[in-house]
Amino acid sequence: RKEEELDSKDAIILHQFSRPRNGVPSLSPFCLKMETYLRMADLPYQNYFDGKLSPQGKMPWIEYNHKKVSGTEFIIDFLEEKLGVNLNKHLGPHERAVSRAVTKMVEEHLYWTLAYCQWVENLHETQKMVSLFGPFSDLLKWIFCHLTKGIVKREMYGHGIGRFSEEEMYTLMEKDMRTLAGLLGDKKYIMGSTVSTVDATVFGHLAQAMWTLPGTRPERLIKGELINLAMYCERIRRKFWPEWHHDDDNTLYESEESSEASKTYSPLQDFSFYSRTETFDEEGNSISQTPDTDYTGHSLFDSDVDMDEFRDHEQCK
């Protein structure tokens, strides 16, 4: 879009990569984290899928009142200061410390092993999900994906984790995912019964293993032994992403009313403006979907899945 068309006065403009082809909002865990956070915090925002990086060369980044902020941690700090939102206000000092430690483990450690799986080992499948259009789109996708592969391998080597063997990297990945599963236990969210900022972080990363890495070790782990993480991802998806459905939805994670709703759905849309109370399309037409209700009008708060439901299912089996 032309620069003069962009006006961030009293509006959050979220710059991020374009939507992939497989119905997942983003192949970037940080873009998905940021957009999920905005929905959790009930902050209206406008998406820009222009591919333009921030002045620091980062993605995602935001503009608000003509100020540019990049880096998800700094974006969240900025929004808390300017708009008075705080998803962590119910947490005590110890819980805040644990939350930050988990965030750093996920973003500085688990991220790299998932990136290796996504952009190196499973590159062929990832290439199918990348959304590029035009007469040379297939060639451009091939170039883009192989450039990204080289960047990921170089950055991983500089980080240090890329100097290990593939098996050693996957061992580290499993340790991180088992740590998250143990921390979550049978709780609704990472820090208890209420969402906090760390949930946006964890969801943004685990969603990649859940929905963008078919047939890989991360997917088998999260949908198998660490089933509580899969249920956690589904819980957040239904509550904050009602328009996001996936062809491989597993009814194991669904309650009776949500399974009925999943029979008919429309694909994820590139909303130009998103609000928890009302969403508009490019022409300003109202779209009657909010994160509080599903396609049947039932409250998604009633569709949350807990561990008791899974245990009952296992006993029936």
With respect to residue 110, please indicate whether it lies within any of the assigned structural domains: yes
Q: What percent of the chain has pLDDT over 90?
A: 58
* Mean pLDDT for all residues in the chain: 80
For 285, phi then psi, to 5°, come to: -75, 140
Quick one: pLDDT at residue 285? 43
With respect to residue 111, please indicate whether it lies within any of the assigned structural domains: yes
- Provide the residue range defining the domain that includes 90: 12-241
Write out pLDDT tens, residues 184-236: 999 999 999 999 999 999 999 999 999 999 999 999 999 999 999 999 999 99
> Within 10 A of 185 (CB to CB), how many other CB atoms are there?
9
Q: Which is it for strands 12-15 and 45-48: parallel, antiparallel or unpaired?
A: parallel
Phi-psi region of 301 (alpha: psi -120 to 50; beta: other; left: phi over 0): alpha
Most confidently modeled range among 98-102, 119-123, 262-266: 98-102
With respect to residue 259, please indicate whether it lies within any of the assigned structural domains: no
Q: How far apart are CA 100 and CA 71, in angstroms?
A: 15
Q: Which of 76, 126, 70 is nearest to 103 (CA)?
A: 76
Q: Which stretches within 117-262 are classed as H helix? A: 123-129, 137-159, 166-184, 197-211, 217-222, 227-240, 256-261
With respect to residue 208, please indicate whether it lies within any of the assigned structural domains: yes
**Which structure tokens are listed for 297?**
């009008």
Mean predicted confidence (pLDDT) in 134-161: 89
Write out pLDDT tens, residues 40-78: 999 999 999 878 888 888 899 999 998 999 999 999 999
Q: How far apart are CA 254 and CA 260, in angstroms?
A: 9
Write out pLDDT tens, residues 6-35: 666 788 999 999 898 888 999 999 999 999
Quick one: pLDDT at residue 5? 58
Look at the chain and report how many structural domains it folds into: 1
Q: How far apart are CA 10 and CA 238, in angstroms?
A: 29
Q: How far apart are CA 38 and CA 60, in angstroms?
A: 13
- CA distances to 37, 237, 264, 282 from 304, in Å: 18, 10, 19, 31
- Longest C-alpha distance within the chain, in Å? 61
CATH number of the domain where residue 43 is located: 1.20.1050.10
With respect to residue 271, please indicate whether it lies within any of the assigned structural domains: no
Q: What percent of the chain has pLDDT over 70?
A: 74
With respect to residue 269, please indicate whether it lies within any of the assigned structural domains: no
What's the predicted TM-score (pTM) here? 0.78
Q: Is the pLDDT of residue 309 over 60?
A: no
Give pairs for 131-134: CB < 8 Å, separation 24+.
131/18, 131/19, 131/20, 131/21
Quick one: pLDDT at residue 29? 96
With respect to residue 216, please indicate whether it lies within any of the assigned structural domains: yes
With respect to residue 49, please indicate whether it lies within any of the assigned structural domains: yes
Q: Is the pLDDT of residue 114 over 50?
A: yes
Quick one: pLDDT at residue 130? 85
